[in-house]
Amino acid sequence: MLLYTVRMVRTMSGVQPTGNLHIGNYLGALVNWVELQKNYEAFFCVVDLHALTQRPDPAVLQRAVREVSIGILASGVDPEKATLFVQSEVPQHAELAWVMTCMTPLGDLNRMTQFKDKSTQQPDNINAGLFTYPILQTADIVLYRAEAVPVGDDQDQHLELARETVRRFNFVYGETFPEPKTVRSQAPRVVGLDGEAKMSKSKGNEVGLFETADETMQKLRGAKTDPARLRKSDKGNPDVCNMFAWHGFFTPQAQRDEIAAGCRSAQLGCVDCKRMLAANLEAVKGPIRERGNELRNNPGRLDDILAAGAAKARVAAEATMELVRDRIGLRKRR
Ligand code: AMP
Ligand code: TRP
């Protein structure tokens, strides 16, 4: 009798526990996490070690790890299908990061634009972790020998660096890791309420995943639209309006066509357009908020999910580390 074992291809991704999840995280990454868990062996991680580069207050970090985990689960990541865990509970991440540090030329890190951005954002704390941040990210991915990494387009450079490091490692020590590919969603770069910058917690231009309908409408009121449309009687151009771009993520085509026509003819005002958007956003966020509240009311369940996730991740991680230690010439552990 022939026995076949079918190994599923692996996917891996992470999100930082810095503040609350927003609809950019949801549209750019989480929707794909939910999709990929169906057909891949999935490892999803709350990357608390990465967050240390911002030196968060310990109590704030603890809370953010829980809230972000709740957000991931409430968005539809199913712990029966995917392994959800906290990075620091799998010590192999830090171990492999050191190995990868020794595989990464300084020149490659010097090119990372995120390091430059973060250095400007926190000029009083330009720590070495900020600089080697992409190496830890590479370790996160290759620790699971993952081939698919669902992220927004702000991670392109980090993923390219990960692929280069994998190639270098495989060249030096023999074929060990597959090259990880980026998986893009329909919205790899969601622009924030200001209509200018990428939505991000640090810019304060975000709509939080757990915000109530009222809070969201309040924020949408102040959101930028077509800059040339000053009065309702002015004809607008939906092609240059960020709110119309958001409709693209939440609103069915037929309603979008109506909105576009109403905007161009000045029959539909921006406030009404935003009300429709708020309603469609709420249709997505409402159920997520409800699932989030259920999880918050049952803290033991979250602890169980994260403990089980870490235990599973550690088994997969240790298998890779045994291979890596052998390849690079470290002593076998007994
Ligand atoms: P972070 O909160 O920076 O850890 O990001 C978590 C995930 O969300 C990463 O895959 C990011 O690429 C993605 N992401 C963050 N902001 C956005 C955005 N504005 N548009 C699309 N994806 C985003
Ligand atoms: N750097 C990513 C971000 O800021 C988070 C991250 C850490 C990650 N490790 C990862 C993403 C591994 C994908 C795979 O969004």
Of ligand 2's listed atoms, the one at least distance from the Cα of 16 is 5
Q: Identify whether the C-beta of residue 318 lies closer than 8 Å to the C-beta of residue 92.
A: yes
**Predicted pLDDT of residue 6:** 73
pLDDT confidence of residue 123: 96
Give residue 7's pLDDT. Answer: 79
What pLDDT shows up at residue 334?
Answer: 85
| CB 41, CB 10: distance < 8 Å | yes
Q: Which of 321, 310, 249, 193 is nearest to 31 (CA)?
A: 249
- Is 38 an active-site residue? no
Q: How far is the CA of 13 from the centre of ligand 2 (A)?
A: 6
Distance CA 143, CA 48 (A): 16
Nearest to 151 by CA among 164, 137, 139, 165: 137
Give the Å distances, CA to CA, from 66 to 46, 63, 156, 196, 311: 9, 5, 27, 30, 18
Report the sign of the C-alpha dihedral through residues 25, 30, 31, 36, in that order: positive
Among candidate residues 81, 116, 118, 181, the one labeled active-site is 118
The pLDDT tens digits for 188-197 are: 999 999 999 9
pTM for the complete prediction? 0.96
CATH of the domain spanning 10-113+129-190+299-328, picked from 3.90.1300.10, 3.40.50.620, 3.40.718.10, 3.40.1280.10: 3.40.50.620
Low-confidence ranges of the chain (pLDDT < 70): 1-3, 5
Beta strands in the chain (DSSP E): 10-15, 41-46, 83-86, 148-150, 181-183
Active-site annotation holds for 224: no
Q: Where in the chain is the domain with CATH 3.40.50.620?
A: 10-113+129-190+299-328
Q: Token pair for residue 260?
A: 């576009």
Tokens 């070690």 sit on residue: 49
Q: Where in the chain is the domain with CATH 1.10.240.10?
A: 210-292
What is d(CA 211, CA 220) in angstroms, rounded to the nearest whole number? 12
User: Which CATH architecture does the domain made up of 210-292 adopt?
Assistant: Orthogonal Bundle (1.10)
Ligand 2 centroid, distance to 49 Cα (angstroms): 11
Question: What is the Cα–Cα distance from 298 to 295, expressed in whole angstroms?
Answer: 5
- Out of 81, 181, 198, 332, pick the active-site residue: 198
Counting ligands in written order, the one closest to the CA of 153 is 1
Looking at residue 299, its pLDDT comes to: 96
